[in-house]
Amino acid sequence: MLRYVIRRLLTAIPTLFLIVTISFFLMHVAPGGPFNMEKGIPPEIKANIERVFHLDEPVWMQYLRYLNNLIHGDLGPSYILLNFSVAELFRVGLWVSAQIGAAALALSLVVGSALGVIAALRQNRVLDYVVVATATAGSTIPTFVIAPIIQLLFGLTWHMLPIGGWNDGAFLNKVGPVITLSLPQLATVARLMRGSMIESLHSDHINTARSLGLSDYAVVVRHAMRGALLPIISYAGPAAAGLITGSIIVETIFQIPGVGRYFIDAALNRDYTLVMGTVVMIAVFTIVFNLVVDLLYAVADPRVRYD
């Protein structure tokens, strides 16, 4: 197992290098720069600012300089928020996004899996149709529609939740963003779990377990669910990376100071270092969570071995 983990981490290095390289040069393809948006700035001052941040150098030299800094753990300063480094922004914003993302992921996995199991056990009955219809609707309605509805109903009409803001992480301020983020994921998990559970319930080893006189609880929980969890584990890895690193739409609508808002602001203002930092962070989270998913396979399925 340890050798497998080491191999995966070593293969992640060229993957991360390729992502950084492609992202860096794609950002520099478009004309302009982070200081072109300034109105009325004298050319001499603009040239001095670009010289301070080494933006007057050739692109390949800027790339080598950024790569060297990245190897030493330096994500660089923000070109727009001049008083902050990228690491300082992430130190605050990532914790905010992680709280909302982790809560949304946990809610979607628990509730979605439960609904999927219930639908599978009541296949082709009224409850199954209700779960499938609800999951289909939940997966097709985008978050930029769900978020304003939650704000309108629970915030403006019923006055149960704040319509936005973070308020130092107060519980009520988290409810709206968490529900908005979790609903599409919950619908997808429910559909995946239903299909996987139906397939698992009709497998040979489940029929053997039932013929041996095992209780329904033992058959469903101990045997059928274990095999049915594999597609959920596969889905949870990329979903966790996306949710924990922030949702641009949800954080913008609810005015949450997470990394998702940093990314959209950086992209609009051509803040190269902040965009690159966000790309690197998302890539690292994706690689790590995919590795965790592979390791969880061995826990959920005894047939999987990495020795």
Packed helices 171-201 and 225-244: angle between N→C axes, nearest 10 degrees: 150
For the stretch 78-108, pLDDT in tens is: 888 778 889 888 888 888 998 999 999 999 9
**Percent of residues in the chain assigned helix, strand, coil, to nearest 5:** 75, 0, 25
pLDDT value, residue 39 = 59
Most confident segment among 153-157, 259-263, 299-303: 153-157
Residues 6 or more apart whose CB falls under 8 angstroms from that of 291 comprise: 5, 8, 9, 12
Q: Is the dihedral of CA 110, 116, 118, 121 positive or negative?
A: negative
Query: Alpha-carbon distance 129 to 240, whole Å?
Result: 28
How many other C-beta atoms lie within 10 A of the C-beta of residue 51?
11
**Positive or negative, the Cα torsion across 107, 112, 113, 114?**
positive
> What is the reported pTM?
0.84
Kindly tell me if the per-residue pLDDT of 38 is higher than 60: no
How many Cβ atoms sit within 10 Å of the Cβ of residue 11? 11
The pLDDT confidence band at residue 114, using thresholds 50, 70 and 90, is very high
CATH of the domain at 172: 1.10.3720.10
Q: Between 71 and 296, name the one with better pLDDT.
A: 71
Q: Give the alpha-carbon dihedral of 104, 106, 112, 114, to 10 degrees.
A: -150
Q: Which of 182, 187, 189 is nearest to 229 (CA)?
A: 189
Residue 8 to residues 39, 232, 245, 293, 300, Cα–Cα distance (Å): 48, 21, 22, 12, 20
Residue 47 lies in a domain: no
> What gap in Å lies between CA 170 and CA 163, rounded to an integer?
13
Element (H, E) at 187: helix 171-201
| Residue at 30 is within a domain | no
Q: Which residue has the higher pLDDT, 131 or 55?
A: 131
For the stretch 146-193, pLDDT in tens is 999 999 999 999 999 999 889 888 999 999 999 999 999 999 999 999
- Residues spanned by the domain of 141: 86-300
**In whole angstroms, what is the distance from residue 89 CA to residue 30 CA?**
25
pLDDT reported for residue 40: 58
The closest alpha carbon to 174, from 154, 191, 201, 144, belongs to 154
Average the pLDDT over 114-139 and give the result: 89
pLDDT for 141 equals 85
Instruction: Please give the Cα distance from 118 to 127 (Å, whole number).
Output: 8
Please tell me the predicted confidence (pLDDT) of residue 109. 93
User: Is the confidence at residue 298, as pLDDT, over 80?
Assistant: no
Answer yes or no: is 224 within a domain: yes
**Phi/psi of residue 122, nearest 5 degrees:** -115, 40
Whether 51 is covered by a domain: the verdict is no
Q: Is residue 112 part of a domain?
A: yes
Report if residue 33 sits inside a domain. Answer: no
Mean pLDDT of the chain: 85
SS3 255: coil
Closest residue by Cα to residue 229 from 293, 140, 135: 293
**20, part of any domain:** no
Task: Please tell me the total count of domains within the chain.
Answer: 1
Residue 305: predicted pLDDT = 66
Q: pLDDT-based confidence at 290, cuts 50/70/90?
A: confident
Could you tell me the pLDDT band of residue 194, with boundaries at 50, 70 and 90? very high
Q: How confident is the model over 70-78, as a mean pLDDT?
A: 89
- Residue 219: pLDDT band with limits 50, 70, 90: confident
Examine residue 34 and state whether it is found in any structural domain, yes or no: no
CA distance 39 to 35: 9
As a whole-number percent, the residues of the chain with pLDDT over 70 amount to 94
Reported as a pLDDT band with limits 50, 70 and 90, residue 246 is low
pLDDT at 294: 81
- Band the pLDDT of 247: cuts 50, 70, 90: confident
Q: How far apart are CA 261 and CA 29, in angstroms?
A: 23
Higher local confidence (pLDDT), 304 or 262: 262
Count of residues in the chain:
307
